[in-house]
Chain A
Amino acid sequence: MRKSFLYKADPRLKLILMLIYTAAFFCPISAIRYGLLLVPVVAAGFITCGWKPFLSVFKLILPLLILTALVTPFFSGIHETVRIILRFIGITALFFLYFKTTDPDEFIQTLRFFGMPYRLALVISISTSYIPLLLDTYHDAEAAHKLRYTESCPAVSRWNFIARFRSILPVLASVLIQAIKNIPILAMALEIRGVGKAKPTVFRPIQCKTPLYKQFLLYFIPIVAIIIILVIYAA
């Protein structure tokens, strides 16, 4: 599972491709074309993670999607609503796949390759790698809160959404406290590792088994061509 082609792809090419793809999801094209744009992304997601883990990513944006589906039709019509929903799904899938298959260290090197200063690249990389860390913290906090119930506590029905929502609030509060506490501590951890004291070097530079030109021909050009056809043909 871990060895899908996305893991092996050059992170610099992947970043450019992700940005082009993201831009395409903002182009004024029909919902059907948005759907067609989504097909390769979804296919890549299933190949990379499998059905269940890939679909579970969208659980996180499900409330947003439901809200959009309920509210937007009254203001912008059904077609625009579908476009917005597909846009959310597409962009979420793109960013998820990029960060799932790109090592944070290679991400820093990618940003530096495009001329970003080291410190800024480090901040962006830590911020993005902090999201899965927060998710881990959420799971730990959720586990700890589950254990605060006893057998004498009234059982909560699966369908009692208000009670279930209320039970999430303490977990979120614990995660928030942890996250805020971690800000100065992370700064301390970075300082004692000597960040900013010298011009940094790289121990393992980006290395891809498949040469860059082959990757360019194998997937970059074809995917960009599909995007151009779908977007320009519409125009």
Chain B
Amino acid sequence: MPAILSVKNISFQYPSYPGLESRKLFNNLSFELEKGSMTLLLALPGAGKTTLSRILTGLVPAYTGGELTGEIEKNGETGIVFQNPDEQLFCSTAEKEVVFPLEAAGLPREEIGRRADLAFQKTGIEYLRFKKPVHLSGGEKRRLLISVLCATDPDLWILDETLEEIDIRGREEILSFLRASGKTILILTAKMLDVYKKYADNFLIYNDGSLKQFTDGASQEFADAVRAGGFCLDGAMPDENAIKDLEAATLQNPVLKVEDLHFSYPDSDFSLNIGNFALEQGKTTAVIGTNGCGKSTLSHIIAGLLKPASGKVMLEGKEVSAEKLNRSCSYLFQNPDYQLFLPTARAELEYGLKLQKLSQNQIDEKVKEAINVFGIEHPEEPPVLMSYGQRKKLQAAIYWLLEKKIVIIDEADSGISSMEYRQIIDAFRQSPADPAILIITHDIQLAALEADNIFRMGAL
């Protein structure tokens, strides 16, 4: 098979800033992708996966500056799905997102219609066609971006941590469709999901500056390398019976309880109806479910960020105001950037403690501990220049310092390794505040390892 992409000895360095020297990435990285292959490139967060994906698409260094050395030879067009889907969606409806590149390419109307229909059908999101992308869940946005690739039909498809936030059935459907498409697929990820073994035929592990290639995903050698690199979790999948319906969450002493909850968004046919749900102090609860079933909406209501149309949200047995819920809940968002605004990571960590009017000595002590627990590598660095994974860890450290009663971790695992994600959850579990933890995830194995109770919303 001829190579569709050939990368020879590439190295890259972003521009440096005064007092902030950028490090060199890749160090003479070389690999080839055969036409029609599906390659999984595993690398830890911060290793440069997103940078590599953008170099291969010709966006870096064109838009970022920096020095790229080595050779890249491409035999065909390249399409990409960004790690953060919000960065790539800018149209008013899902259909327009799909149609936009086809219009830009000057295709006739009939052809655009045919390709759009096919793209929505193949990715199984016809029902989202006329919805606003901003109203879609993280997983739905990623499916939409795959539809865009499907419609534009490039020769090489690059997926930058795309499948992590898609539900289990969705991953299987998408990988099966990608495999059948006959296109060359490059999946960049920090997590080895079991489903990849079934579909990928080329496995690359990039660790400590060196690249190892495996052709058999089922081999022991590959499994050992995955485990040694920290790309998977050690632990068995949970028993089917261990996963209960959400409504079964009746606990003896719940710190938080919701009853007869109803919520719907304006201009949307989505509605959330929950009869009963509870969180217990010191316990970890995982909620799993399909994309768009309302997991994040439920979390937002618990945190007092959305007001239900009807129903009760009770904290320690009492109905409380939204502000009280805000002050009692930590919420690790999918996007960590919404709350970062200060010039250094240390200042971000100190901010919440300053609001509590603690002394500078107390603040220094607590911040030092948080830096150690969460492995914040460069606390004097501006958060804006930190990697996505580092910003996620910073967000977790900020909340950990606040010691609130409830911690919600909402699919916050993209951009960080499974091990790091577990470390974050464990840090909250061992927090002196002994909080009730709610994990929203698609990773059943993680749920089994970390949660005391696992609940499902909708079908799996």
> What residues of chain A have their CB less than 8 Å away from a CB belonging to chain B?
2, 103-105, 126, 129, 133, 136-137, 140-141, 143-154, 170-171, 173-174, 177-178, 181-182, 184-204
A-B interface pairs (CB < 8 A), number = 146
Using known A-B contacts A199-B106, A202-B103, determine if residue A189 contacts B338 with beta carbons closer than 8 Å. no
A177 with B337: CB separation less than 8 A:
yes
Pick 24 A–B contacts, CB within 8 A, sort by A: A104-B91, A105-B92, A136-B134, A143-B300, A145-B338, A146-B304, A146-B305, A146-B323, A147-B330, A148-B351, A148-B398, A150-B352, A150-B404, A152-B356, A170-B342, A174-B341, A182-B87, A186-B90, A189-B82, A191-B59, A197-B104, A198-B106, A201-B103, A201-B112
Q: Decide: A188 near B59, CB < 8 A? Known: A147-B303, A148-B351, A202-B109.
A: yes
Are A174 and B384 interface neighbours, CB within 8 A? no
With a cutoff of 8 Å between Cβ atoms, the chain B residues found around residue A190 in the complex are 90
- Do A200 and B134 have beta carbons less than 8 Å apart? no
Distance of A187 Cα from B328 Cα, bound (Å): 40
* Interface-lining segment among B94-102, B169-177, B283-291: B94-102
Given A147-B329, A149-B355, CB of A187 within 8 Å of CB of B339: no
Q: Which of A140, A146, A150, A193 contacts B101 (CB 8 A)?
A: A193
Q: Is the CB of B107 within 8 A of A201?
A: yes
B82, B99, B355: the one contacting A203 at CB < 8 Å is B99
Contacts of A133 in B (CB 8 A): 90, 134
Contact partners of B82 in chain A: CB under 8 A: 185, 189
- Tell me whether A181 and B109 are in contact in the complex, defined as CB-CB below 8 angstroms, given that A133-B134, A144-B339, A148-B402 are known contacts: no
Beyond A150-B404, A170-B341, A192-B80, is A200–B355 a contact (Cβ under 8 Å)? no
B104 touches A193 (CB 8 A): yes
In whole angstroms, how far apart are the Cα atoms of A5 and B341 in the complex?
A: 43
Closest to A172 in B: B341
- Whose C-beta in chain B lies nearest to the C-beta of A202? B103
Smallest CB-CB separation from B89: which chain A residue? Answer: A189
Contact in complex: B91, A177 (CB < 8 Å)? no
Bound form: Cα–Cα A8–B96 in Å: 19
Alpha-carbon gap, A200 to B134, bound state (A)? 25
A182 and B86 CA atoms in complex are apart in Å by 10
A231 CB to closest chain B CB, in angstroms?
35
Q: Does B272 contact A (CB under 8 A)?
A: no
B339 pairs with A181, CB closer than 8 A: no
Quick check: A174 and B402 within 8 Å, CB to CB? no
Q: Is the CB of B339 within 8 A of A2?
A: no
Determine the residue in chain A with the shortest Cβ distance to B383: A177
B236 within 8 A of A: no
Q: Which residues of A contact B63 (CB under 8 A)?
A: 184, 187-188
Contact B90 A129 (CB under 8 A): yes
A153 and B326 form a contact (CB under 8 A): no
B331 interface contact, C-beta 8 A: yes
B2 touches A (CB below 8 Å)? no
Tell me which residues across on chain B come within 8 A of A153, comparing CB atoms.
327, 355-357
Q: How far is the CA of A137 from the CA of B335 in the complex (A)?
A: 11
- Given the contacts A146-B326, A148-B355, A192-B57, A203 and B337 also touching, CB distance less than 8 Å: no
Answer whether A150 and B402 are a contact pair too, CB < 8 Å, given A105-B91, A189-B90: yes
Complex Cα distance, B90 from A195, in Å, reads 13
Residue from B80, B91, B106, B338 in contact with A141 in the complex, judged by beta carbons closer than 8 Å: B338
| A196: nearest chain-B partner, CB-CB | B104
Q: Which residue of B lies closest to A148 (CB)?
A: B352
